[in-house]
Amino acid sequence: EKGGYDHFMLKEIFEQPQTIFDSLRGRLDAEQQHITLSGVDKIKDKLMEANRIIIVACGTSWHAGLLAEYVIEELCRINVEVEYASEFRYRNPIITDKDVIIAISQSGETADTLVALENAKKQGATIFGLVNVVGSSIARLSDAGAYTHAGPEIGVASTKAFTAQLAVLYLIALKVARDKQTIDQTLFNKLLADLAKVPQFVHDILEEQDAAIKAVALKYADARDFLYLGRGFNFPIALEGALKLKEISYIHAEGYPAAEMKHGPIALVDENLPVVFVATKDSYHEKIVSNIQEIKARKGKVIAVISQGDNIVAGLADDVMVVPQVHEVIAPLLSVVPLQLLSYYIGVHRGLDVDKPRNLAKSVTVE
C-alpha cells in the first residue's frame, strides 16, 4: 500500500508530480491560454463585485491561504484577508453579502473551519470551498467550489494536499485576473506556461535533489531549533517549512518574514542555529542576500533553497537545495518540495513515526 516507499509521507511527497498534474488537468489549457473552473464561473458576478475575499483555514491550509493572499492581491487587485478559522469564528467579524469567502481544507471536516463558514453564510457571504475530500462537510456547505485532486492523504502531515491547494489557488487567481482584466495577456500566458511545467519540475527536484537533501538532513538532525526565513511569495513557504519540521521531527522551528529577523529572532543566532532561507530568484533577491550575510556574520548555519544557477547564494550558504527557475509568483510551488523532504529525512533519522506524529490527528474535528 505504500507502493515501495518506507512511509506514506515519502510516497505522498513523490506523488506530487502526478497530483499537481491531476489538479491542473482539464482546467489549465496553456496552449489555448484558457482556464476552465466551473465553480468560479458559478460565482463570477459575486467575485467581480466582491469588496474583499476572506480566506478561512487552519494549519497548512492556512499557509496556502496566505500565499493566495499575495497572489490574488497582486494579480486580481482584490483586497484579501486570511483568517485562522478558530479566531474568525469567535471574534464577531464584520461580514456582508459582498464578501466572498474561500475556505481551504484538505479533509473538509475541520471543526473550526466548518463553524466559521456556517456563521459567515448566515450573514450572507458567498462560500467557495477548496477541498480535497469529495462530499465532505465543507464541500457540502459551500455555494461553489473546486476540488483539489490530490487523492487520499494518509500521512498526518500535509504534503501533496498542500501543493494541490496551491495549484488550484493559482488557477483561481489567474482566471479571476483574466476576467477582471487586471493582468495583461503576456503575463497571463507566461504564468500559465510556468504552471503547466510545474509537475515536470517537481519531478526533476525529487529526482535530482533527494540524495543531497538527505545528506543535509543528517547534518542538521541534532539541532535544537531551526529558523525559516522567506520574503514575499516565499514567506508562506517559510512558515510551512517550519510547521513541517515541528510536526515530523519535534524540533522547535519558527518561520518569519526574512526582514523581521532584525526585530527579535536574530538574538537566537549562533553557530548552533540552522537558518533555512527560501531564497529563489525574485524581485527581493538582493534583500534576502543581505539577510543571509547578516546570519553568516553571526556564525549561523545557512541552508538555502535557491534557483538553479544562483552562484551568489550558493557561495554564501553552507548548504543548498536547488529548484528550477520559474516566475516568482509560481516559485513557491517548487520551493516547498525540498523543505518537505528535509523534514522527512530529519524525522526518520531521529527514529520518529513520521506518518503519525505524536499528539496529532489527521483532521481536527473537535475544538
Side by side, the strands of the sheet bearing 79-84 are 79-84, 52-57, 99-105, 126-131, 144-147
Is 343 one of the binding residues for ligand M6R (CB under 6 A)? no
Q: Applying CB under 6 A, does 157 fall inside the site for ligand M6R?
A: yes
Q: Using CA atoms, how far apart are residues 128 and 101, in angstroms rounded to an integer?
A: 6
Q: Is residue 142 near ligand M6R by the rule CB under 6 A? A: no
Q: Is 362 a catalytic residue?
A: yes
φ/ψ (deg, to 5) at 112: -65, -40
Q: Which is nearer to ligand M6R, 128 or 188 (CB)?
A: 128
Contact set for ligand M6R, span 107-126 (CB under 6 A)? 107, 110, 113
Check binding of 360 to ligand M6R (CB under 6 A): yes
Nearer to ligand M6R, 104 or 125 (CB): 104
Is residue 234 a contact point for ligand M6R (CB under 6 A)? no
Site string for ligand M6R, 247-276 (x = CB under 6 A): x-----------------------------
Longest dimension (CA), the chain: 55
* Active-site choice (46, 121, 356, 362): 362
Q: Given CA atoms 269, 272, 278, 283 in this order, what sign does their dihedral have?
A: positive
Q: Which is closer to ligand M6R, CB of 59 or CB of 300?
A: 59
The C-alpha cell that represents 126 in the structure block: 458567498
x/- track of binding to ligand M6R for residues 40-79 (CB under 6 A): ------------------xxxx------------------
**Least distance (Å) between residue 14 CB and ligand M6R:** 17
CA–chain centroid gap for 298, Å, is 30
Burial of 94 (0-12, 13-18, 19+ CB in 10 A): exposed
Binding ligand M6R (rule: CB under 6 A), the pick from 86, 148, 158, 280 is 158
Range 89-92 contact pairs with CB under 8 angstroms and sequence separation of 24 or more: 89/115, 89/116, 89/119
Which positions lie near ligand M6R, rule CB under 6 A?
A: 58-61, 105-107, 110, 113, 156-158, 247, 360, 363-364
Catalytic positions, written as ranges: 362
